[in-house]
Amino acid sequence: MAYAVKALWICAKAYSSSANLGPGFDVLALAHDAYYDIVCVRETEGFKVSKVTGGWNVPKENNNAIVVAKLASEKLGIKGVDIWVHKGVPPGRGLGSSGATAAAAVKAIELLAGRALSYEEAVSIAAEGERAVSGTPHADNVAASYLGGLVAVTYSPFKVVKFGLPKINLVVATPWIDVPPSKTGEARKVLPQLVELKDAVQLIGGTALVIKSLIESDLELLGKAVMMDNVITPRRKKLIPCYDKVLEAVLSSGAYGMTISGAGPSVLIIGNERSGEAAVRAWNECGIEASFKVVKAAPGARAHPPP
């Protein structure tokens, strides 16, 4: 008697990330090992998320992994996949949660097909998963989660640059406040459509210094560079309770600098464990639960056993 053998899950893991890094809005991002997602796929008819596990509950319907899996499968000749999302990156915290899912989904489809896409193809497909979540196909988080380490993205022409894995320890601190479902979109609404020339010059200079400092593992320079954002942070910090108080506490603890991680509310601190503790205390004094992690740069998306 013949028995049908159910297809095995093929899985990929992708790490969290912090986008912008201060002045590098929508261009720079750094993958780090604070959290990770695993996405598994197996061939079937059609596209659906049939299973969600992990520490965070996300919907099966309208999951960005479906969008990404469809586009990657079209490129690689796969007719349909069943998708399992193991969610480890907390959603809505400015840590590239949807980007990690998208990057892992692309890599899982590549592994299933036994064929890789180019960097630009993979990242542009993953960015369409970001469009499904935020309305904008920004590619910084997905590029970092897919490629690992420090990345830069340009949009016209579309290019992805990988700078490697900086040898540096940083701190990610997160206030566990309520955030709206469309938090990234809301954080974009507070930003100006036009920037004065002097502000643009400072952003460009700061972006160059962020890249230099991470390549050279220069924490002091990095602290100065991430705080050269005179456009995005001043507007978005108003969405994060007690931001200025946290910044003051972090700098008083000896940190070199602090900036918003992506759209927030998490922050990226150029400091050590003491700086993370100072941030948590400051938020606690405002009546806000918070936590921190000391992180290092993480590698790109790769094969992983089923969770």
Tokens in use for 306?
């089923």
CATH for 84? 3.30.230.10
30 and 133 in a single domain? The answer is yes
Question: What is the reported pLDDT for 184?
Answer: 77
- Of residues 168, 169, 171, the one with CA closest to residue 277: 171
Alpha helices, DSSP H, located in 84-231: 97-113, 119-134, 140-147, 183-189, 197-215, 219-226
Give me the tens of pLDDT residue by residue for the chain, a chain 307 residues long. 343 446 799 999 999 999 999 999 999 999 999 999 999 999 999 999 999 999 998 989 989 999 999 999 999 999 999 999 999 999 999 999 999 999 999 999 999 999 999 999 999 999 998 877 766 778 999 999 999 999 999 999 999 999 999 999 999 999 999 988 777 778 888 999 999 999 999 999 999 999 999 999 999 999 999 999 999 999 999 999 999 999 999 999 999 999 999 999 999 999 999 999 999 999 999 999 999 999 999 999 999 999 9
Domain count, the chain: 2
> Which pLDDT does position 142 carry in this prediction?
96
Bridge partners, residue 54, by sequence: 87
Distance CA 164, CA 181 (A): 33
Pairing mode, strands 81-87 and 47-54: parallel
43 and 130 assigned to the same domain? yes
Question: What CATH code is carried by the domain that includes residue 203?
Answer: 3.30.70.890
Q: Is the dihedral of CA 44, 116, 166, 145 positive or negative?
A: negative
Which residue range(s) make up the domain with 208?
169-296
Same domain, 159 and 176: no
Question: How far, in Å, are 16, 103, 144, 148, 263 from residue 19 at the CA level?
Answer: 10, 14, 8, 12, 8
Phi first, then psi: what are they for 122, rounded to 5°?
Answer: -65, -45
Sign of CA dihedral 192, 244, 269, 126: negative
